């Protein structure tokens, strides 16, 4: 499902009104009526409703909500946070309509002494256009709304929540339900905004659908990955499904290489080979059965280095179809020489993770000289090493950080974390809704490296490999959590259940992550 920024929504509204003649009053009526329908569906026992109305069009939406709920027999009181003389345009028309049909309207200008209580609060203070800190009287209003022990339903977006970042602008209404218009806003699809939005309904208010086609932001859904995932055909063999070469492992970190290989195998890659320092090869042969190993010349410290380059190149050129490099490979200087030469020379699509990302931070300019597509899978700490920002700064602007990095260096970026962000060199951004806190354990990223590498090896487009890989990886964690709970999930559990996960994507439920109303 497409996601919108405040600017995108503003432009869709403008074009709908100015170029296609869809009056703003119609859009407001459709929006308010839909909110009223959700109130009645979600809270059928509610009798008394309090609407907190701001001074702009969000307040106008609230007036429409009030009128429709009154017609259904509910006791509705609307609380104004501005002088009603300040209303204009469509909001003024709907304020006047609510007044003329006898709606009870109270101006909040002496604290909250006039508040009569309610079974439900409708938050119609601010819309998606808010881009400044909430303070003063409005902060008091939002704090008061949050203090009431009744359900809260937000109109378009919880007031005070930044629609682009998902962070409160000082303070935000914490809604139980949000009814958002045209498209879900990015801030409703990422943390911490998810914690403020509650259950999200998406409402079609009759803006033209074709205006959404070129939007570059998208929440990954089952229908997306179902269209990407290719079924297995009867007349095929292991060579049909590619050969992934994994360069990984060093003393104490052979597990990373093993997990990456399991990830690649479990998503259906025909062949997986691990390139490992030769002294570690006996360990790898004990750890792996289905994956092959290639013992490579090693440094005195038993890591891959300059001495390993020629052997690795020969293996890469021997009908391999994708390369994964980095898990547990070490960050020694000699390993860096090996790593950079492999990147420079490889014509295979590549995925780089873990130690590979730490090495890459020493020479980002090499990314502009690559022969083949490259996927990077940093967690926030690794992203911090790449761009020199703190982890907190990255977490507060995950989408722009990933998007800017992909654009600058012509790479595919998978910024891991709750709601992993995938960005492409051409500016597209995909947000992944699968996964859970039980996946916060060691080795998960190694499996993901193998999963994405496996899809690359099978011939998937890099963007599709990232979308499918991240979604399936997180969904595997969700399936395990449903069966066993979140505590104690380990990385090999994820690899083990990936075939079942892919089957669920192809044949399972069509669950979406927002609720639609047309």
Q: How far is CA 80 from the centre of its chain?
A: 36
* pTM of model > 0.85: yes
Q: Which domains does the chain have, with CATH numbers?
A: 6-215 (3.40.50.10260), 242-373+436-508 (3.40.1190.20)
Long-range contacts formed by 385-390: CB under 8 A, 24+ apart: 385/357, 385/358, 385/361, 386/357, 386/360, 386/361
Query: Any alpha helices (H) in 201-288, and if so which ranges?
Result: 222-228, 254-266, 281-287
Output phi, psi for 252, to 5 deg: 85, -5
Do residues 123 and 180 touch, judged by C-beta distance below 8 A? Answer: no
Q: pLDDT per position in the chain (518 positions), as tens? A: 999 999 999 999 999 999 999 999 999 999 999 999 999 999 999 999 999 999 999 999 999 999 999 999 999 999 999 999 999 999 999 999 999 999 999 999 878 988 999 999 999 999 999 999 999 999 999 999 999 999 999 999 999 999 999 999 999 999 999 999 999 999 999 999 999 999 999 999 999 999 999 999 999 999 889 999 998 999 999 999 999 999 999 999 999 999 999 999 999 999 999 999 999 999 999 999 999 999 999 999 999 999 999 999 999 999 999 999 999 999 999 999 999 999 999 999 999 999 999 999 999 999 999 999 999 999 999 999 999 999 999 999 999 999 999 999 999 999 999 999 999 999 999 999 999 999 999 999 999 999 999 999 999 999 999 999 999 999 999 999 999 999 999 999 999 999 999 999 998 666 678 887 76
Q: Supply the pLDDT for residue 512.
A: 72
Q: Supply the pLDDT for residue 110.
A: 75
3-state secondary structure 389-423: CCHHHHHHCHHHHHHHHHHHHCCEEEECCCCCEEE
Strand order in the sheet with 515-517: 104-107, 75-80, 48-53, 120-124, 152-155, 177-181, 199-203, 515-517
Alpha carbon distances (Å) from 29 to 22, 36, 91, 94 = 12, 11, 10, 9
Q: Supply the pLDDT for residue 507.
A: 86
């Amino acid at each position: 499902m497409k996601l919108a920024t405040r600017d995108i929504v503003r432009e869709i509204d403008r074009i709908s009104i100015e170029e296609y003649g869809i009056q703003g009053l119609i859009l407001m009526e459709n929006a308010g009526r839909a909110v009223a329908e959700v109130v009645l569906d979600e809270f059928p026992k509610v009798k008394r409703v309090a609407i907190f109305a701001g001074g702009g069009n969000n307040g106008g939406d609230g007036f429409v909500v009030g009128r429709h709920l009154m017609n259904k027999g509910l006791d509705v009181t609307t609380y104004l946070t501005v002088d009603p003389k300040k209303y204009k345009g469509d909001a003024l028309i709907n304020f006047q309509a609510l007044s003329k049909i006898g709606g009870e309207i109270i101006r909040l200008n002496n604290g909250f002494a006039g508040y009569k209580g309610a079974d439900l609060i409708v938050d119609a203070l601010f819309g998606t256009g808010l881009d400044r800190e909430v303070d003063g009287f409005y902060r008091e209003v939002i704090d008061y709304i949050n203090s009431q022990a009744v359900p809260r339903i937000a109109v378009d977006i919880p007031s005070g929540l930044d629609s682009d970042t998902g962070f409160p602008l000082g303070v935000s209404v914490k809604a139980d339900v949000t009814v958002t218009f045209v498209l879900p806003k990015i801030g409703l699809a990422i943390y911490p905004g998810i914690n403020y939005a509650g259950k999200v309904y998406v409402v079609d208010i009759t803006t033209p659908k074709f205006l959404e086609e070129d939007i570059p932001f998208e929440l990954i859904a089952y229908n997306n990955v179902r269209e990407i995932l290719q079924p297995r055909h009867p007349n095929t063999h292991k060579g049909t499904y590619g050969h992934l070469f994994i360069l990984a492992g060093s003393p104490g970190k052979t597990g990373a290489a093993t997990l990456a290989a399991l990830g690649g195998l479990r998503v259906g890659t025909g062949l997986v080979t691990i390139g490992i320092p030769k002294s570690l090869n006996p360990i790898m042969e004990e750890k792996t059965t289905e994956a092959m190993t290639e013992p490579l010349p090693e440094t005195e410290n038993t890591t891959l280095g300059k001495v390993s380059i020629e052997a690795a190149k020969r293996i890469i050129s021997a009908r391999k179809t994708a390369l994964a490099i980095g898990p547990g490979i070490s960050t020694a200087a000699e390993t860096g020489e090996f790593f950079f030469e492999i990147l420079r020379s490889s014509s295979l699509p590549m995925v780089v993770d873990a130690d590979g990302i730490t090495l890459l931070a020493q020479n980002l300019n090499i990314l502009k000289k690559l022969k083949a597509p490259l996927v990077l899978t940093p967690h926030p700490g690794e992203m911090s090493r790449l761009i020199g920002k703190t982890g907190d700064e990255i977490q507060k602007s995950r989408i722009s950080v990933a998007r800017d990095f992909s654009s600058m260096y012509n790479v595919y970026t998978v910024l891991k974390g709750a709601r992993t962000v995938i960005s492409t060199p051409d500016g597209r951004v995909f947000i992944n809704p699968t996964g859970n806190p039980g996946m916060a354990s060691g080795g998960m990223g190694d499996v993901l490296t193998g999963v994405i590498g496996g899809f690359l090896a099978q011939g998937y487009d890099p963007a599709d490999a990232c979308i499918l890989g991240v979604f399936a990886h997180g969904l595997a964690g969700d399936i395990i959590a449903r069966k066993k709970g979140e505590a104690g999930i380990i990385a090999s559990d994820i690899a083990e259940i990936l075939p079942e996960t892919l089957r669920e994507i192809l044949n399972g439920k069509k669950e979406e992550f927002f609720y639609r109303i047309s």
